[in-house]
Structure 1
Amino acid sequence: MGAMMASITSELLFFLPFILLALLTFYTTNAAKCHGAHRRWLRPTKKKRPNLPPGSSGWPFVGETFAYLRPHPAISVGRFMEQHVARYGKIYRSSLFGERTVVSADAGLNRYILQNEGRLFECSYPRSIGGILGKWSMLVLVGDAHREMRAISLNFLSSVRLRAVLLPEVERHTLLVLRSWPPADGAFSAQHEAKKFTFNLMAKNIMSMDPGEEETERLRLEYITFMKGVVSAPLNFPGTAYWKALKSRASILGVIERKMEDRLEKMSKENSSVEEDDLLGWALKQSNLSKEQILDLLLSLLFAGHETSSMALALAIFFLEGCPKAVQELREEHLEIARRQRQRGESKLNWEDYKEMVFTQCVINETLRLGNVVRFLHRKVIRDVHYNGYDIPRGWKILPVLAAVHLDSSLYEDPNQFNPWRWKGNVPSSFMPYGGGPRLCAGSELAKLEMAIFLHHLVLNFRWELAEPDQAFVYPFVDFPKGLPIRVQRIASEGPTVLTESTPMSS
């Protein structure tokens, strides 16, 4: 417990300089504007005063940011949200990150926000995120630029490619990771293994980089440093996490740029187009993107396709370890799929097998609902909005908190309990683990495919238990303080694929 609390404390302190710098910068550069706007709100006018949601502005300058970012278990919304919803309701105002903000724990408003992207609301992440991911990252782009980048990603991740190319690749990388696990007794980090799995998969499909190669490992290490800077204080001087992340960004972009130059050189020499084996080749052939746009696109998809998927997979391993009944039903489903494979004389999963993983999808949905890898989204109000009796002025920030809806007891019975059987029916419209509207995650289908294929081979070949207590915390990103240490025991697989050294790893 002491180690966990120390980790939590260090993570909180990690955010303090970022918050202070952001808030002081905002209020220094916008003091006059804020003061004038404040006086306009206060002085009597003929215009009707807006009916703002109830709430509190907290302390001067910092508002309620510290309390909002206080670490808490991932299967809860935290004390801040609990207290504010109890006092003000599911829609309330606050002062967060130096800006006047409306926070929404309301399913209807969250859906309204996401469906009206570009009309009433606009994506608005902290400027430091764009500094790390790049100005052409899909996470920070808006309008036509975002639509163009998203269309390229959707075409690359089409259902045809999912079936023919990505499913075999996901299975190959799954087996590669599981084969490396110790046979018994040895404890290892399940979170690390999940990250290794998703990173290698994305590196292969983005730039055709094979796992285990020296260049791939160097890129993975650079990426670890890069990730630490995404959520760090934007202090750009030697030694800071942000400074190191910018250096790693330059190194990662250098790798991507060299890969791009090699492809273009081959095209020039062979007088032929680039094969669409990976996203780099796809972007060079199928788009008119500039070099800078392609670099940021590949970097941001490596980030988006790796980080959230790996955490969702680690959460599934954690939740299932505490629910033997779910593991048993999951194993029975996959044993039946394996028997059908054996009957048709095949050793690899196909799309029909994947579509038969019905209870597996229930497990995935429940993992995403309870774990909430994406806790909330950053949006800005671009036109005055009137919703449910409240006025939300243009220029305000608005945070749709997805986790608060997914853990709402009025929508989900016993919301803090892992219960995959709740999904044996229609999926409610309040369930939005991948966002929604025009900015619905382009990789959502790939993410679900990754989890399903990994769980298939996991339950057929292993039993597992926690090597020591651990649980996911929100910092505000979701993370296991100890890395989710587990021990595994191999079991006799009844499937056509057995995890032995002779298992073929070629696609």
Structure 2
Amino acid sequence: RRWNSSSPRLPPGSRGFPVIGESLEFFRQSPSLELFPFFKRRLERYGPIFRTNLFNQDLIVSMDQELNNLVFQQEEKLFQIWYPESFMRILGADCIIATLGSFHKHMRSLVLKLLGPENLRLVLLHDVQRATQASLLSWLDQPSIELKEATSSMIFSVTSKRLISYDSSSSDGKLWKQFDAFTRGLIAFPIYVPGTAFYKCMQGRKNVMKILTKMLDERKRASRQDSVDFLDLLLDDLKKEKLLRNEKIALDLLFLLLFAGFETTSSGITAALKFLTDDPKALQELIEEHQSIRKRRVDPDSEITWEEYKSMKFTSHVIHEALRLSNIAPVMFRKATEDVHINGYTIPKGSKIMIDPSSVHLDSTVYKDPIVFNPWRWKGTVEPVGGASKEFMAFGGEVRLCVGADFAKLQMAIFLHCLVTKYRWKAIKGGTMSLSPGLQFPGGFHIQLLPKA
């Protein structure tokens, strides 16, 4: 929607330059945990609701807790899911984040077969432990580990096995390398010119889709009796001609799950270790919690049980605090389906809205000393269901979009348990905590893993 002077009481703001709007400032790097300068300057000038132009699109930006909550409470009533065209080019036009109504519910039910509570408890808990233990053991022989990249590869091995029966250890890492190229340009200025980050990102997507298409074709020709992975579930759904209407939709869903399965979690793990490295008191309490779990076992080296995982209270506090500060889901988009009146402003029907969760996560009226890592602040609080609440939107603001939140937290907790009970580490290089909205952890945090003293 293009606004004009006759529009009703619109929020204040500026379109910036022709075509590019204010995108250059939005993508500018900022090595800080504080509220990103693009948002901070406009909050001070216009208040928590303002207009801008990004991605060649007029947007209303919400840093307002009341409006953010209204958007997610009234989803598919006053608001609906929407994402910029450049973003959808990257993730696929038919991916789950842009689907509505019964189609979204059907796709979500398929995802829950993979990431639902029963599969987490019976299958994925075991898979994550095996992958984590193998990865940590391999890191011992190396003088330096770039943590974001190493944990991404580790997590990818788990999700790719369950999604498409892909064995990363026996391959040359071809699929993972293409995803890595894709990730590096995900939040970049959308110029499709060779050499740019966006171009490399799109090439990475293209190469991944070729591999997935080949796998799908081979699976269709193969004879089988039972479903062994998520790809089989998608094929069964396609054969029954349910709401999953064509192979492109199935491939887009696979692509999104493979990507989302490792990117957010590896960022969360990197954040947690970075904060723990700088906070000996928190690290010591975390170690004590996990040592206590080991001491209660008949065999200290036996696998973590579901009951043990659910008992990791301080670990949960560390995870939530790391996710709050790192803001791994930095912006979300919606579109108004009706005129919305709030705080003296009118958001006209058809307006595109960008929500900034960090404005709540770093709000001093919500969190005391908001840029301080303080996992004890979560003691006595109700854990956010599905990774989302009014004051905590680490995985997005709407619970039904956060089907992977519990899986991400499981992976983080298991990683921390395996790490602190058998190993110690020292930071070799500090890394960068924040680069831009949408790319908080580009890498650079190097550690050396050492056996427990």
- The alignment's TM-score, normalised by the length of structure 2, stands at 0.90
- Give the deviation of 1:207 after TM superposition: 0.9
Corresponding residue of 1:283: 234
Secondary structure of the residue that 1:220 maps to in structure 2?
Answer: helix
Instruction: Find the aligned partners of 2:300 and 2:391 in 1 and give their Cα distance.
Output: 42
CA contact (8 A) 1:73 1:472 kept: yes
Asked if residue 435 in structure 1 is aligned to residue 396 in structure 2, the reply is yes
Report the residue type matching 2:370 in the other structure. Answer: P
- Give the deviation of 1:346 after TM superposition: 6.8
Gaps of 5+ in 1: 1-32, 43-48, 493-507
Instruction: Find the aligned partners of 1:236 and 1:375 in 2 and give their Cα distance.
Output: 23
Question: What is the aligned counterpart of 2:326 among 371, 376, 391?
Answer: 371
CA 1:387–1:136 in 2, change beyond 3 Å: closer, same or farther?
same
Question: What is the aligned counterpart of 1:196 among 144, 153, 157?
Answer: 153
CA 1:238–1:410 in 2, change beyond 3 Å: closer, same or farther?
closer
Instruction: Find the aligned partners of 2:31 and 2:179 in 1 and give their Cα distance.
Output: 26
- Give the deviation of 1:324 after TM superposition: 0.7
Report the residue type matching 1:478 in the other structure. Answer: L
Corresponding residue of 2:386: none
Question: What is the aligned counterpart of 1:418 among 366, 373, 384?
Answer: 373
Summarize the alignment of residues 393-404 of structure 1 with structure 2, pairs less than 5 Å apart. 393-404=348-359
- Give the deviation of 1:171 after TM superposition: 0.5
- Give the deviation of 1:139 after TM superposition: 2.7
- Give the deviation of 1:334 after TM superposition: 0.5
Corresponding residue of 2:406: 445
Asked if residue 214 in structure 1 is aligned to residue 171 in structure 2, the reply is yes
Report the residue type matching 2:372 in the other structure. Answer: Q
Question: What is the aligned counterpart of 1:358 among 297, 307, 313?
Answer: 313
Asked if residue 454 in structure 1 is aligned to residue 411 in structure 2, the reply is no
CA 1:66–1:261 in 2, change beyond 3 Å: closer, same or farther?
closer
Moved more, 409-418 or 289-298: 289-298
Report the residue type matching 2:293 in the other structure. Answer: I
CA 1:479–1:103 in 2, change beyond 3 Å: closer, same or farther?
closer
Instruction: Find the aligned partners of 1:239 and 1:65 in 2 and give their Cα distance.
Output: 19
CA contact (8 A) 1:377 1:399 kept: yes
Corresponding residue of 1:389: 344
Corresponding residue of 1:326: 282
Moved more, 57-66 or 74-83: 57-66
Give CA-to-partner distance per residue, 1:282-316, whole Å, 9 cap, x none: 32335633322211111111111111111111111
CA 1:99–1:254 in 2, change beyond 3 Å: closer, same or farther?
closer
Report the residue type matching 2:235 in the other structure. Answer: L
Asked if residue 312 in structure 1 is aligned to residue 268 in structure 2, the reply is yes
Instruction: Find the aligned partners of 1:231 and 1:104 in 2 and give their Cα distance.
Output: 19
Root mean square deviation, CA, Å: 2.4
Summarize the alignment of residues 101-140 of structure 1 with structure 2, pairs less than 5 Å apart. 101-140=59-98
Question: What is the aligned counterpart of 1:265 among 221, 228, 238?
Answer: 221
Report the residue type matching 2:62 in the other structure. Answer: S
Instruction: Find the aligned partners of 2:186 and 2:397 in 1 and give their Cα distance.
Output: 23
Report the residue type matching 1:437 in the other structure. Answer: E
Give CA-to-partner distance per residue, 1:297-341, whole Å, 9 cap, x none: 111111111111111111111111001111111111111111122
Report the residue type matching 1:430 in the other structure. Answer: E
CA 1:455–1:465 in 2, change beyond 3 Å: closer, same or farther?
same
CA contact (8 A) 1:74 1:478 kept: no
Secondary structure of the residue that 1:72 maps to in structure 2?
Answer: coil
CA contact (8 A) 2:27 2:188 kept: no
Give CA-to-partner distance per residue, 1:99-148, whole Å, 9 cap, x none: 33221112221111122222222222221222232222113333433332
Q: Which runs of 4+ in 1 moved over 6 A?
A: none
- Give the deviation of 1:244 after TM superposition: 4.4
Give CA-to-partner distance per residue, 1:57-90, whole Å, 9 cap, x none: 4344443332233222352112232222223222
- Give the deviation of 1:486 after TM superposition: 1.4
CA contact (8 A) 1:472 1:478 kept: no
Identity %, equivalent residues: 38
Instruction: Find the aligned partners of 1:375 and 1:252 in 2 and give their Cα distance.
Output: 25
CA contact (8 A) 1:55 1:88 kept: yes
- Give the deviation of 1:166 after TM superposition: 0.6
- Give the deviation of 1:454 after TM superposition: 0.3
Give CA-to-partner distance per residue, 1:393-418, whole Å, 9 cap, x none: 12222111101110000100000000
Gaps of 5+ in 2: 383-388
- Give the deviation of 1:54 after TM superposition: 3.1
Instruction: Find the aligned partners of 2:164 and 2:398 in 1 and give their Cα distance.
Output: 29
CA contact (8 A) 2:328 2:395 kept: no
Corresponding residue of 1:149: 107
Asked if residue 173 in structure 1 is aligned to residue 131 in structure 2, the reply is yes
CA contact (8 A) 2:326 2:440 kept: no
- The alignment's TM-score, normalised by the length of structure 1, stands at 0.81
CA contact (8 A) 1:132 1:229 kept: no
Secondary structure of the residue that 1:426 maps to in structure 2?
Answer: coil
- Give the deviation of 1:480 after TM superposition: 4.2
CA 1:98–1:165 in 2, change beyond 3 Å: closer, same or farther?
same
CA contact (8 A) 2:36 2:437 kept: no
Question: What is the aligned counterpart of 1:463 among 409, 424, 441?
Answer: 424
Instruction: Find the aligned partners of 2:441 and 2:366 in 1 and give their Cα distance.
Output: 27
Asked if residue 99 in structure 1 is aligned to residue 50 in structure 2, the reply is no
Report the residue type matching 1:318 in the other structure. Answer: K
Report the residue type matching 1:333 in the other structure. Answer: E
Instruction: Find the aligned partners of 1:177 and 1:364 in 2 and give their Cα distance.
Output: 20
Corresponding residue of 1:256: 212
Corresponding residue of 1:499: none
Question: What is the aligned counterpart of 1:231 among 187, 192, 209?
Answer: 187
Instruction: Find the aligned partners of 1:195 and 1:348 in 2 and give their Cα distance.
Output: 22
Moved more, 103-112 or 441-450: 103-112
Instruction: Find the aligned partners of 1:473 and 1:402 in 2 and give their Cα distance.
Output: 15
Asked if residue 300 in structure 1 is aligned to residue 227 in structure 2, the reply is no
